[in-house]
């Protein structure tokens, strides 16, 4: 029922805030299983899985969160980050591109997109990312990407 889902979600979020994903996971898995279209359930589940280094499962949870809420840029950014951790930059690129289209000022999403472009050999788009990072006041991140690009 809805109350059990909310209780599990609330308790799971508390465990996440104290960096204890192992205690959050059973609660968040239960909440997500009861209501697969619950965007917060899927996001918190993804966060717990990500904290535990379970990037493939986290990417799935973030994908479910994105499907439940089309305007959610964070789920796309986090799924892209998972795919980068899994050495799958080709899978990360469309998610990160979608994230920056929704949240154009998200420095982390732009930074991750730059790394994904470097990993896929897309130099032209990498320069565009560096320019955007500089405009967002993240010159240090742009410099880091420039250094990676010229290696």
**Average pLDDT value over all residues in the chain:** 94
Residue written as tokens 């050999």? 121
Instruction: State pTM to two decimals.
Output: 0.90
pLDDT single digits (tens) 100-151: 999 999 999 999 999 999 999 999 999 999 999 999 999 999 999 999 988 8
- Torsion angles phi and psi, residue 95, rounded to 5: -70, -45
- The proportion of the chain whose per-residue pLDDT surpasses 90, expressed as a percent, equals 85
142 vs 138: CA distance, rounded Å: 6
Better pLDDT: 8 or 98: 98
Q: Which helix (H) or strand (E) holds 89?
A: helix 89-102
59 vs 67: CA distance, rounded Å: 12
């Amino acid at each position: 029922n809805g109350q059990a889902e909310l209780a599990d979600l609330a308790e799971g979020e508390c465990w996440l805030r104290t960096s204890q994903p192992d205690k959050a996971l059973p609660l968040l898995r239960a909440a997500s299983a009861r209501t697969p279209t619950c965007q917060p359930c899927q996001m918190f589940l993804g966060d717990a899985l990500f904290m535990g280094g379970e990037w493939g499962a986290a990417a799935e949870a973030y994908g479910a969160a994105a499907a439940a809420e089309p305007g959610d840029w964070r789920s796309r950014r986090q799924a892209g980050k998972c795919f980068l951790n899994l050495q799958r930059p080709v899978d990360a690129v469309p998610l990160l591109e979608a994230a920056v289209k929704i949240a154009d000022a998200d420095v982390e999403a732009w930074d991750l997109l730059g790394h994904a472009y470097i990993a896929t050999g897309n130099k032209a788009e990498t320069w565009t990312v560096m320019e955007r990072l500089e405009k967002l006041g993240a010159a240090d991140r742009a410099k880091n990407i420039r250094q990676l690009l010229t290696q």
